[in-house]
């Protein structure tokens, strides 16, 4: 009996070895890994980025030639879980990385990417701390936060949207503080008057009566909200409750507010934000993506989905350009991709911008686009 | 005017803390255990009400009643399954179990309701009261939470002082074994305590989410801790103490935010708690109980 069992186990081992052998042999499949919040408060972003990337992978695989295998691990927007998930992806054999979807976890995964010399292109982790931690291996396809903050200030000033601005930001979140600081600096430069600055953190992100009252007392006619949509929804509700109607200017984290369950979209009417992607844009690329996404997932894609989609295509184009082979190690591919992305002859046009170029730090250069929420949908401002 | 407005906001928040704290303090006072899952029952109650109103289109009051009923059942079930087997165990084991139940409820809620925040519907359709040219706004939720909070406190006090069941509760609280010898069913009395506490939690959940309309599986955890603090602050086990502690905590939190720092508001709240406990270890209205040897 024991002998039989031993033979059985041996047979099983042989089969396993043979099977796993097949996977890597004569294939041109690159393994791409990403971590993102698939559950938890920021799940909306992780799921959208994953779905966008998945659509791109399917399109590319259908073309033949370079093939991708995408694996996404849940990090619940937590840095420690992201690091563990990232190591699991490395064990799985990840050759190219999409880093993490949100900034704080991405800071952790960028550090590992730098140590392992894996090329990483994050769809949406926009903090500069992300590229800093990545030591030249972590690239972004989204705006960096300072870029977004100063662009918002310029936009508000140039369009004459406000004379007195209030800012409410989240002080324990690099995404929020990064945008806040650059906005403030740029506003001072432009002579845009900031009359009230208040903040909140993870434990106090529910009651905004004080912050809103401070903005109102200071006479602000516009509130700048560098934050995700959940606290923003509460700020809109609070303003509505006390009958205060300033203009609202958000950032790309505001994306998702319209699909929040139970949310009365009337509260967000007129909210403006800068975002590189508009699902209602009429170009063929966006139309085809939005249609595919809707067919597959039954909802209109948000910016994070477009970011995920673009990441895969940018990597695809760069891989073709630098002639990388799927048989190479992650570090070899990493070195090639890093050089390609920063080379002056490489530029990428996708859903979230055309003619994107990258600097050696990993930050992208592209133009922002103004959007406004009208009748429960995003409409381009320009 | 800002001061008055902040004061109203503080009282509004405080009265919600107070309703939660009443449940905490009652269970502690009678069963002599800290039910850390109390905050999560709040969350379950709010979700039940959300689904009843948002998905099934029930009127607000029906949603509240349904939430109270389901939470009452949940509370009794938790007590029966998790706490009763530990009746003779030491208090540390019960405490750890309570924390376990809390995590269990949070994570089950994530599975069942999803992790995304939902936006709680407005159950109080009436217009808020606007005074001084709309500079001072008192919402209906504020008035309702203050009213409910007072009513609950009076009813609870009367219930415990005047009814037979209330007498049994006090007896169990004082000495379980002696109560048993007098023919009181200790288990049944504690079940009733949990039933009342959990129904109160559901009510508090609906009030909390009406004031702050964002609901997620983690919604109950921070208010739960704050309300526990309020209960300790006022003197744990004391019903008027829970009310006083809750109101003070809410006012201190909002005032701290408004006049000291929006970043340090929680630190200020807990600092005040530490100072109070240093001066009066039993809380503001807590009674010093002499241990008989």
Instruction: List CB contacts (< 8 A) between A213 and chain B.
Output: 2, 5-6, 9, 258
Q: Is residue B153 part of a domain?
A: yes
Q: Is residue B285 part of a domain?
A: no
Q: How far apart are CA B232 and CA B251, in angstroms?
A: 16
Q: How far apart are CA B136 and CA B129, in angstroms?
A: 8
Do residues A78 and A134 both lie within one domain? yes
Going residue by residue through chain A, which has 382 residues, state the pLDDT in tens, using 9 for 90 and above: 556 666 666 666 655 555 554 444 447 899 999 999 988 777 888 999 999 999 999 999 999 888 999 999 999 888 899 999 999 999 999 999 998 999 889 999 999 999 999 999 999 988 888 998 988 999 999 888 888 888 888 888 888 888 899 999 998 888 888 889 989 998 898 888 889 988 888 777 788 888 888 898 888 899 999 988 888 988 998 888 888 889 899 888 887 788 788 888 888 888 888 877 877 777 788 889 999 999 999 888 888 999 999 999 999 999 988 888 888 899 999 999 999 999 888 989 888 888 889 988 888 888 777 788 888 777 777 6
CA-nearest of A256, A355, A320, A307 to A98 is A307
CB pairs under 8 A between A and B: 88
Q: Is residue A3 part of a domain?
A: no
Mutate which of A37, A42, A47, A206 to test chain B, going by most B C-beta atoms within 10 A? A206
Do residues A307 and A245 both lie within one domain? no
Do residues A151 and A262 both lie within one domain? yes
Q: Is residue A328 part of a domain?
A: yes
Question: What counts of helices (H) and strands (E) characterise chain B?
Answer: 11, 4
Tell if the CB–CB gap between A203 and B266 is shorter than 8 Å.
yes
Beta bridge partners of A348: A356
Is the distance from CB of B188 to CB of B167 less than 8 angstroms? no
Q: Is residue B201 part of a domain?
A: yes
Is the distance from CB of B219 to CB of B233 less than 8 angstroms? no
Residue listed under structure tokens 């673009």: A310
Q: How far apart are CA A178 and CA A197, in angstroms?
A: 14
Do residues A194 and A271 both lie within one domain? yes
Q: Is residue A153 part of a domain?
A: yes
Please give the residue of chain B at the shortest CA–CA distance from A256: B116
Task: Supply A333's token pair.
Answer: 């591919």
Do residues A123 and A160 both lie within one domain? no
Q: Is B159 on the interface with A (CB under 8 A)?
A: no
Count of other CB atoms within 10 angstroms of residue B127? 10
Is the distance from CB of A129 to CB of A103 less than 8 angstroms? yes
Do residues A135 and A150 both lie within one domain? no
Closest-CA distance of chain A to residue B65, Å: 20
Q: Is residue A18 part of a domain?
A: no
Please give the residue of chain A at the shortest CA–CA distance from B137: A242
Do residues A220 and A172 both lie within one domain? yes
For residue A172, what pLDDT is reported? 83
Instruction: List CB contacts (< 8 A) between B263 and chain A.
Output: 171, 199, 201
Instruction: List CB contacts (< 8 A) between A234 and chain B.
Output: 212-214
Structural domain total, chain A: 2
Picking from A226, A241, A275, the residue at the C-terminal end of a domain is A275
Tell if the CB–CB gap between A210 and B262 is shorter than 8 Å.
yes
Tell if the CB–CB gap between B119 and A207 is shorter than 8 Å.
no
Task: Supply A213's token pair.
Answer: 């009252």
Tell if the CB–CB gap between A234 and B213 is shorter than 8 Å.
yes
Instruction: List CB contacts (< 8 A) between B134 and chain A.
Output: 242-243
Confidence of residue B45 (pLDDT cuts 50, 70, 90): very high
Q: Is residue A346 part of a domain?
A: yes
Instruction: List CB contacts (< 8 A) between B130 and chain A.
Output: 243
**List of E strands, chain B:** 118-119, 129-131, 136-138, 214-215
Q: Is B214 on the interface with A (CB under 8 A)?
A: yes
Instruction: List CB contacts (< 8 A) between A231 and chain B.
Output: 214
Do residues A263 and A155 both lie within one domain? yes
Tell if the CB–CB gap between B262 and A200 is shorter than 8 Å.
yes
A29-36/A67-74 β-pairing: parallel
Q: Is residue A96 part of a domain?
A: yes
Residues written for chain B? 293
Instruction: List CB contacts (< 8 A) between B119 and chain A.
Output: 233, 237, 260-264
Do residues A203 and A323 both lie within one domain? no
Tell if the CB–CB gap between B119 and A264 is shorter than 8 Å.
yes
Full DSSP string of A83-149: HHHHHHHHHHT--EEEEESSHHHHHHHHHHHHHHT--EEESS---HHHHHHHTTSEEESSPPHHHHH
Domain that holds residue A180: 146-275
Binding-site residues on chain A for chain B (CB distance < 8 A) = 39-41, 43-44, 171, 198-201, 203-204, 206-207, 209-211, 213-214, 217, 230-231, 233-234, 237, 241-243, 260-264
Q: Indicate the residue of A44, A206, A209 with minimum beta-carbon distance to B254.
A: A209
Do residues A228 and A166 both lie within one domain? yes
Tell if the CB–CB gap between B119 and A260 is shorter than 8 Å.
yes
Q: Indicate the residue of B115, B118, B222 with minimum beta-carbon distance to A262.
A: B118
Q: Indicate the residue of B50, B134, B222 with minimum beta-carbon distance to A203.
A: B222
Q: Is residue B259 part of a domain?
A: yes
Q: Is residue B49 part of a domain?
A: yes
Q: Indicate the residue of A43, A241, A242 with minimum beta-carbon distance to B115.
A: A43
Picking from A229, A254, A275, the residue at the C-terminal end of a domain is A275
- Which helix (DSSP H) or strand (DSSP E) does residue A273 occupy? strand A272-274
Instruction: List CB contacts (< 8 A) between A171 and chain B.
Output: 263
For residue A23, what pLDDT is reported? 43
CATH number at residue A152: 3.40.50.2300
Tell if the CB–CB gap between A206 and B214 is shorter than 8 Å.
yes
Q: Is residue B84 part of a domain?
A: yes
ipTM, 2 decimals? 0.78
Q: How far apart are CA A300 and CA A286, in angstroms?
A: 11
Give per-residue pLDDT as tens, B96-155: 999 999 999 988 988 888 777 888 887 777 777 777 776 777 888 888 888 988 998 899
Q: Is residue A172 part of a domain?
A: yes
Tell if the CB–CB gap between B254 and A207 is shorter than 8 Å.
yes
Instruction: List CB contacts (< 8 A) between A201 and chain B.
Output: 263
* Span B23-51, average pLDDT: 88
CATH number at residue B62: 1.10.3470
Do residues A305 and A251 both lie within one domain? no
Domain that holds residue B35: 2-279
* Span B46-56, average pLDDT: 89
CA-nearest of B251, B282, B289, B225 to B4 is B251
For residue A223, what pLDDT is reported? 93
Q: Is B130 on the interface with A (CB under 8 A)?
A: yes
Give per-residue pLDDT as tens, B253-277: 888 888 887 777 788 888 888 888 8
Mean per-residue pLDDT over chain B, rounded: 86
Q: Is B9 on the interface with A (CB under 8 A)?
A: yes
Instruction: List CB contacts (< 8 A) between B268 and chain A.
Output: none
Instruction: List CB contacts (< 8 A) between A210 and chain B.
Output: 6, 9, 254, 257-258, 262
Give per-residue pLDDT as tens, B59-80: 888 889 999 999 999 999 998 8
Q: Is B163 on the interface with A (CB under 8 A)?
A: no
Q: Indicate the residue of B2, B119, B128 with minimum beta-carbon distance to A217.
A: B2
Task: Supply A87's token pair.
Answer: 């190591």
Q: Is residue A82 part of a domain?
A: yes
Is the distance from CB of A164 to CB of A221 less than 8 angstroms? yes
Q: Is residue B23 part of a domain?
A: yes
Structural domain total, chain B: 1
Q: Is residue B291 part of a domain?
A: no
For residue B291, what pLDDT is reported? 55
Spell out the SS3 assignment of A187-254: HHHHCCEEEEEEEECHHHCCCCHHHHHHHHHCCCCEEEECCCHHHHHHHHHHHHHHCCCCEEEECHHH
Count of other CB atoms within 10 angstroms of residue A377? 13
pTM of the model: 0.75
For residue A107, what pLDDT is reported? 92
CB < 8 Å from A in window 106-125 of B: 110, 114-121
Instruction: List CB contacts (< 8 A) between B211 and chain A.
Output: 207
For residue A21, what pLDDT is reported? 45
Q: How far apart are CA B179 and CA A63, in angstroms?
A: 79
């Amino acid at each position: 009996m024991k002998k039989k069992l031993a033979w059985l186990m041996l047979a099983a081992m042989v089969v396993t070895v043979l099977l796993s052998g097949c996977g890597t042999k004569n294939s041109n499949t690159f393994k791409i890994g990403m971590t993102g919040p698939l559950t938890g408060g920021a799940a909306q972003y992780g799921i959208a980025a994953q779905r966008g990337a998945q659509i791109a992978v399917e399109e590319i695989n259908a073309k033949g030639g370079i093939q991708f295998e995408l694996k996404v691990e849940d990090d619940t927007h937590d840095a420690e879980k992201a690091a563990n998930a990232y190591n699991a992806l490395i064990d799985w054999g990840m050759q190219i990385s999409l880093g993490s979807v949100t900034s704080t976890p991405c800071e952790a995964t960028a550090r590992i990417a730098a140590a392992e010399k894996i090329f990483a292109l994050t769809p949406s982790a926009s903090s500069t701390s992300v590229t800093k931690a990545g030591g030249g291996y972590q690239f972004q396809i989204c705006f960096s936060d300072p870029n977004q903050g100063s662009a918002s200030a310029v936009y508000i000033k140039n369009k004459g949207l406000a004379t007195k601005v209030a800012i409410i930001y989240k002080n324990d979140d690099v995404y929020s503080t990064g945008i806040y600081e650059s906005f403030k600096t740029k506003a001072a430069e432009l002579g845009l008057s900031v009359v009230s600055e208040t903040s909140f953190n993870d434990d106090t992100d529910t009651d905004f009566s004080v912050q809103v009252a401070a903005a109102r007392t200071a006479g602000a006619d516009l509130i700048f909200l560098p934050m995700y949509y959940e606290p923003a929804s509460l700020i809109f509700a609070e303003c509505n409750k006390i009958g205060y109607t300033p203009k609202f200017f958000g950032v790309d984290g505001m994306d998702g507010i319209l699909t929040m369950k139970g949310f009365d979209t009337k509260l967000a009417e007129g909210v403006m934000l800068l975002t590189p992607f508009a699902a209602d844009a009429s170009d063929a690329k966006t139309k085809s993506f939005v249609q595919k996404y809707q067919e597959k997932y039954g909802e209109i894609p948000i910016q994070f989905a477009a970011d995920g989609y673009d990441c895969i295509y940018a990597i695809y184009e760069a891989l073709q350009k630098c002639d990388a082979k799927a048989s190479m190690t992650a570090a070899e591919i990493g070195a090639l991709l890093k050089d390609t992305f920063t080379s002056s002859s490489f530029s990428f046009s996708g859903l979230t911008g055309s003619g994107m170029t990258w600097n050696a730090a990993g930050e992208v250069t592209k133009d922002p686009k103004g959007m406004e929420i009208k009748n429960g949908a995003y409409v381009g401002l320009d | 005017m800002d001061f008055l407005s902040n004061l109203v906001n503080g009282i509004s928040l405080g009265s919600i803390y107070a309703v939660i704290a009443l449940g905490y303090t009652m269970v502690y006072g009678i069963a002599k255990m800290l039910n850390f899952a109390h905050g999560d029952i709040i969350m379950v109650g709010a979700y039940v009400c959300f689904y009843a109103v948002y998905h099934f289109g029930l009127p607000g009051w029906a949603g509240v009643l349904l939430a109270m009923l389901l939470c009452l059942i949940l509370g009794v079930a938790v007590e029966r399954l998790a706490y009763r087997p530990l009746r003779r165990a030491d208090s540390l084991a019960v405490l750890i179990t309570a924390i376990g139940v809390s995590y269990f409820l949070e994570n089950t809620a994530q599975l069942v309701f999803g992790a995304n925040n939902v936006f709680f519907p407005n159950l109080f359709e009436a217009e808020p009261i606007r005074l001084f040219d709309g500079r001072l706004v008192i919402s209906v939720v504020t008035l309702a939470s203050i009213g409910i909070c007072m009513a609950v406190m009076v009813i609870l006090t009367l219930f415990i002082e005047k009814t037979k069941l209330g007498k049994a509760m006090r007896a169990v609280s004082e000495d379980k074994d002696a109560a048993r010898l007098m023919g009181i069913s200790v288990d049944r009395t504690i079940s009733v305590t949990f039933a009342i506490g959990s129904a109160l939690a559901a009510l508090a959940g609906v009030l909390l989410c009406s004031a702050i309309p964002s609901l997620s599986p983690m919604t109950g955890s921070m208010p739960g801790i704050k309300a526990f603090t309020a209960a300790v602050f006022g003197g744990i086990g004391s019903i008027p103490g829970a009310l006083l502690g809750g109101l003070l905590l809410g006012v201190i939190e909002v005032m701290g935010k408004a006049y000291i720092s929006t970043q340090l508001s929680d630190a200020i709240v807990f600092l005040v708690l530490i100072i109070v406990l240093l001066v009066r270890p039993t809380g503001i209205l807590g009674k010093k109980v002499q241990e008989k040897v």
